[in-house]
Amino acid sequence: MKASAFVYPWDVVGDPHAAAAIAGLGVEQVTLAAAYHSTRALTPRHPRHRVVTAEHAAVLYPPGEHWRGRELRPHESGDWAPGDAFGEAAAALAGAGLEVHTWVVLAHSSRLGAEHPGTSVVNAYGDRYPWAPCVAQPATREYLVALAAEAAVRPGARGTELESLGWYGLAHLHAHDKTGGVGLGDAGQYLMSLCFCPACRDGYGGHGLDAAELAAAVRDALEPVWRGAPSDGGWAGVEKLLGETRARATREWRETTARSLQEEAVAAVRAAAPAGFQVLLHADPVSYHCGANAGVDPAHILSVADGVVVPCAGGPEPLTAFAGRGRAGTVLAANLTIVSGMGGTPATLAADAARARERGATELRLYHAGLASDGDLEEVRRGLAER
């Protein structure tokens, strides 16, 4: 099974030993961030720093002149990844014999929401989620598609992985996050992630719903949850809280919107890319889920993209929904956390890879070579050697 390690440019730039060390893990590929959200990250081996603070969502290369004059446009990074940090890191990694693919975060940007509040998801209470651009809005969709095409197809890249290409909702670690006081469960998270911006209000209308009545129904449904009533039960729990007809209509609107965005973005990347360029999505097989791993219909997304990267930190079960649904050569990559301090289990990598293979995985993704300790990386070397 081919393995790729996630890497940030700042893990490599300024460290003359980083590229060779990553290659020495036994991976064949790196998934290198080209457009990324704000973060605070450890760099435990870098000779110049130990903590990198990326203050806002940014592209990690100089954005093209075609953005000039556009209201919605990406920002360059600050001193955490100056200049063409992606290009510099990519060249070093390729020089160490690694195949470079881009890692592109799309519908997840607090700076976009701060500078253009109207682009954000708005919940049933009128609260804006500045980290979550609403993917139903035409201008936002145009921006995301253009960003996907530019950030994915960087010089030297052989493919891309598109993250957050779908709906983002409430569940997001934002600054000093303090939203865990009430157990919303799967159903409550869905209701708190429904958007009521003007575009979504019109969208609900097209599916036979009155947006004002829907928002009131969401608030009424959540009132017992705020008082401690359970809201789990997956989609059945959503239908119980909101009613089957309303729930189905909201899901139809959101899934149609996300699918069309995914189709447009993948088409734009392919139009900009050379022949043979691989396009993967970070994906969750539960289509109503929100987040970095966008909820998708497995059969649909595998008819659009060249494959998916699936979160498997909790086990390989999510792979099952995708297995056998693609074409010849479709990539089904199991994403495993290798940072023990973040809940990963690098010591069981070989066994985890074997279980993923049994569920249909064709490749591995290792999160994250730059964040892991030396001890974690030694376990990764052993595990990859046993593949």
Query: Is the link from the previous residue into 17 a cis peptide, with omega within 30 of 0?
Result: no
Q: Specify the DSSP class assigned to residue 166.
A: S
What is d(CA 186, CA 170) in angstroms, rounded to the nearest whole number?
11
Q: What does each C-alpha distance from 375 to 71, 102, 312, 349, 371 come to in angstroms?
A: 46, 27, 21, 13, 12
Residue 245 lies in a domain: no
Q: What's the confidence (pLDDT) of residue 179? A: 78
Residue 232 lies in a domain: no
Q: Identify the pLDDT of residue 233.
A: 84
Report how far residue 73's alpha carbon sits from residue 54's, in angstroms, rounded to the nearest whole number: 18
Q: Would residue 285 count as lying in a domain?
A: yes
Q: 265 Cβ partners below 8 Å, 6+ apart?
A: 106, 144, 145, 148, 149, 162, 165
Three-state DSSP class for residue 141: helix
Residue 5 DSSP SS3: strand
Q: What is the pLDDT of residue 180?
A: 81
The set of residues, in sequence order, having a beta carbon less than 8 Å from that of 285 and lying 6+ positions away, is 295, 296, 298, 310, 318, 321, 322
The answer to whether 117 touches 130, Cβ cutoff 8 Å, is: yes
Residues 6+ apart with CB under 8 A from 38: 54, 55, 56, 57, 110, 111
Domain that holds residue 343: 2-181+277-385
What is the number of H-type helices and E-type strands within the chain? 13, 14
Q: Would you say 129 and 197 are in contact if contact means Cβ atoms under 8 Å apart?
A: no
Residue 193 lies in a domain: no
Place of tokens 């100089």: 62
Which residues are CB-neighbours of 263 under 8 A, at least 6 positions away?
304
| Cα within 13 Å of Cα(103), Cβ side | 26
DSSP string, 225-253: HHTT----SHHHHHHHHH-HHHHHHHHHH
Query: What are the angstrom distances between the C-alpha of 21 and each of 4, 24, 90, 198, 336?
Result: 14, 5, 14, 50, 19
292 domain residue, yes or no? yes
One digit per residue, the tens of pLDDT, for the chain of length 387 reads 999 999 999 999 999 999 999 999 999 999 999 999 999 999 999 999 999 999 999 999 999 999 999 999 999 999 999 999 999 999 999 999 999 999 999 999 999 999 999 999 999 999 999 999 999 999 999 999 999 999 999 999 999 999 999 999 998 777 778 778 888 999 999 999 999 999 999 999 999 999 999 999 999 999 999 999 988 889 999 999 999 999 999 999 999 999 999 999 999 999 999 999 999 999 999 999 999 999 999 999 999 999 999 999 999 999 999 999 989 999 999 999 999 999 999 999 999 999 999 999 999 999 999 999 999 999 999 999 998
Which residues are CB-neighbours of 106 under 8 A, at least 6 positions away? 35, 144, 147, 148, 162, 163, 164, 165, 265
User: Which of 285, 336, 377 is closest to 31 using CA atoms?
Assistant: 336
DSSP 286-320: STT--SSSEE--HHHHHHHSSEEEEE-TT-SGGGG
Alpha-carbon distance 314 to 146, whole Å? 34
> What's residue 129's pLDDT?
96
The answer to whether the beta carbons of residues 164 and 294 sit under 8 Å apart is yes
The token duo for 263 is 């189709």
Residue 255 lies inside a defined structural domain of this protein: no
User: Can you give the C-alpha Rg of the chain in angstroms?
Assistant: 21
208 located within any domain: no
DSSP code, position 37? -
Position 194 in a domain: no
Determine the residue type at 57.
Answer: A
Domain tally for the chain? Answer: 1
Report long-range pairs for 183-186 (Cβ below 8 Å, ≥24 apart): 183/230, 183/231, 184/225, 184/231, 185/225, 185/230, 185/231, 185/232, 185/233, 185/237, 186/231, 186/232, 186/233, 186/234, 186/237, 186/238
pLDDT at 232: 81
Q: What is the CATH number of the domain that holds 93?
A: 3.20.20.80
